[in-house]
Amino acid sequence: MTGLIEKLRQQIVSTQVWRSIFRHGYPDTDLNRALVMFSNVILHLHPVRVKRGALKIRYTWCLGGLTFFMFIILTITGVFLMFYYVPDTRRAYNDIKDLQYVVYFGNLMRDMHRWAAHAMVFLVWLHMTRVFLTGAYKPPREFNWIVGVMLLVLTLILSWTGYLLPWDQLALWAITVGSKMAEATPVIGVSGPFGLQMGMRPDNDIRFMLLGGTVVGQSALLRFYVLHCVGLPLLAGVFMAVHFWRIRKDGFSGPL
């Protein structure tokens, strides 16, 4: 019986279909294990060997990994929310209410999206603090620290642009205050240092560019929506890819 099964197995693994998918033998030798890792689209992201110390949870607390996990949750739940939400000032608020009270699992998706956003902001700070406290920002990882700073800023702007979308009082005034702060940016803001000297006016400065007007209205909602759902997530995705690539290339800073 065992011989029969073994013969069948050998017949299957020698077919052209099998060999076109699995291009390596059973991972029982170092060479085969390496081939398995290199030839698989998902596994190739991982190194062939991992040092025991790199798995030590009390060094990283997996804070970077958890931040990334939040980003994945946000992407999935965000796509779901996009099916029901229209960035039109006449219906945005009602779309959110529909998500809460009418759409099946709508409230769950909205809550997951909101809580994951809070968690991502919280975790990215903690991750940065861990990197700082373990001195992992020092050479050769200084470039990745800068990439990390970009990710931190992108995370905060993602959170801020999402804030406007429910189009309620909180959203409106939070973005009014935030965009007023942008107006005070040096050189490119009309009320910032050297703004007037640089020819800034309320209708051509950074706040105007951000809102697409001088008040938080339809143009602002559309701009924030496009930035929140397309521009910033794509940019963050690219920066994360570079971040993960550098982690591999620079080597892990922790105990080996």
- Residue whose CB is less far from ligand HEM, 91 or 138: 138
The reply to whether 143 sits near ligand HEM by the rule CB under 6 A is no
How is residue 96 written in tokens? 């959110």
Instruction: Return the DSSP state at 229.
Output: I
Which of 64, 87 has the CB closer to ligand HEM?
64
Cα–Cα dist 72/113, whole Å? 10
Q: Tell me if 254 sits within 8 A of 60, measured CB to CB.
A: yes
In this complex, which beta carbon is closest to ligand HEM, that of residue 112 or of residue 124? 124
Sign of torsion, CA 14 20 21 27?
positive
Q: Is 102 helix (H, G, I), strand (E, B) or coil?
A: coil
Q: Which residue has the tokens 């801020």?
A: 160
243 binds ligand HEM (CB under 6 A): yes
Q: Which of 103, 119, 152, 174 binds ligand HEM (CB under 6 A)?
A: 152
- Counting Cβ atoms within 10 Å, is residue 168 exposed (0-12), middle (13-18) or buried (19+)? middle
- Site membership for ligand HEM, residue 158 (CB under 6 A): no
Write the binding mask 106 to 125 for ligand HEM: x where contact by CB under 6 A, - elsewhere.
------------------x-
Which residues would be at the binding site for ligand HEM (CB under 6 A)? 60, 62-65, 67-68, 124, 127-128, 131, 134, 136-137, 141, 144-145, 148-149, 151-152, 155, 240, 243, 247, 252-254
